[in-house]
Amino acid sequence: MVLFFTFRGINMTLTEKQKNLLRWIVEGVRAGYFPAEDNILWGPQVFNGPSWPNYTGSDSCPEVEFPTLGGLEKSGYINLQTIASDEYKGALTQKAYEAVDSNFAEPAISSQKVYAKNYYNHVETMTENKGNVNISGVQGNVSGIAAAGENQTMTGVALGQISGVVTNSIGQLQSTNTPEATQLATLLEQLQSAIKNESHLAPEDKAEAMEQVKTLAEAGQKPEDNALQKAAKTALKILKGTIAGLPDAAKLAESCAKLLPAIATLLSLS
């Protein structure tokens, strides 16, 4: 028996913090608190956390680190342009307005084929069990399941599956069979292992970090693809932001200090 999802609509990987940030930005643009939808400035403020220098509203500005903002870019809600060291200008996309207006509506699930278009086309485990179909590991509630048969339990997109997707991407990189690709694959395997074994990183943060490793592997497969190279730059920034919040005792920070510069060099991003 095979189950299929059709994920229609909004990306399901945003955290609540990212959703609230996107709501605040969209509301600010619509209220005229930003000069324009393509002129949203963000940068670190030395004494008071990150700042939004051209926001003119009276509401307090959310304090976020770059990984939160970078995640919105990776998901296609905002385009970021570097204007100075650690300072960015953002431009909202149409997808951002649609997401906020629909209150990040959960996608419908239908038909007899599973397409996880906005996440990972992967399902790990199906087992027979009395009761309803139960899907775990996906952020948000999922309803409207149509399936042949009954009494199925599905373990959905979980950290182990994300790691499996990353492993597949690294394997595809290795099959490129060039010295640079082989070296990059080795470094990404080490990075994947360091993320997986970091005890100071929450599961959702590990999942987000794993996504960045997948992006780097994909960029290594197609070094001529400008869009992938841009995505790889963003992935490196997100990883750097992730380890910046870790305690000094975290082994991942030590590993990334060695691995990220070498990865950037092999991708010609340094």
Residue-wise pLDDT for 13-30, tens only, equals 788 889 889 999 999 999
71 and 183 assigned to the same domain: no
Same domain for 115 and 205? no
**Residue from 44, 45, 28 nearest 36 by CA:** 28
C-beta separation of 198 from 213 below 8 A: no
Assess if residue 152 is contained within a domain: no
pLDDT tops 50 at residue 186:
yes
- Give which of 7, 22, 268 is closest to 156, Cα–Cα: 7
How many residues does the structure list for the chain?
270
Per DSSP, 264 falls in state H
| Local structure of 141: helix, strand or coil | coil
The range of the structural domain enclosing residue 12 comes to: 1-122
Higher pLDDT, 223 or 59: 223
106 & 170 share domain:
no
pLDDT at 50: 56
> Residue 95 domain-assigned?
yes
Residue 175 lies in a domain: yes
The arithmetic mean of pLDDT across residues 145-159, rounded, is 40
Distance of CA 225 to the CA centre of its chain: 20
- Residue-level pLDDT at 159: 66
Q: Which residue is listed with tokens 């996504």?
A: 211
> Tokens standing for 130?
């009395």
Q: What is the pLDDT of residues 232-253, one digit of tens each?
A: 999 999 999 888 888 877 899 8
Average pLDDT, stretch 51-76?
85
Q: Is residue 113 one of the residues assigned to a domain?
A: yes
Please state the rounded mean pLDDT for residues 140-169: 54
Specify the pLDDT at position 131: 43
Residues 62 and 163 both lie in one domain: no
Q: Residues 17, 117: one domain?
A: yes
For the chain, what percentages of helix, strand and coil (3-state, to nearest 5) are there?
Answer: 45, 15, 45
Query: Which of 122, 151, 176 represents a domain boundary (last residue)?
Result: 122
- Together in a domain, 186 and 104: no
Q: What is the dihedral of CA 22, 26, 32, 36, to 10 degrees?
A: 90
What's the domain count of the chain? 2
Q: Confirm whether 91 is domain-assigned.
A: yes
Task: Among 68, 96, 122, identify where a domain stops.
Answer: 122
For the chain, percent of residues with pLDDT exceeding 70: 73
Give which of 183, 143, 165 is closest to 265, Cα–Cα. Answer: 183
Residue that terminates a domain, selected from 95, 122, 149: 122
Is 25 among the domain residues?
Answer: yes
Residues 116, 227: one domain? no
Do 12 and 110 lie in one domain? The reply is yes
Residue 62 has a pLDDT of: 82
Is residue 146 in some structural domain? no
Looking at the domain assignment, is residue 212 inside a domain?
yes
114 in the same domain as 9: yes
Q: What gap in Å lies between CA 248 and CA 154, rounded to an integer?
A: 38
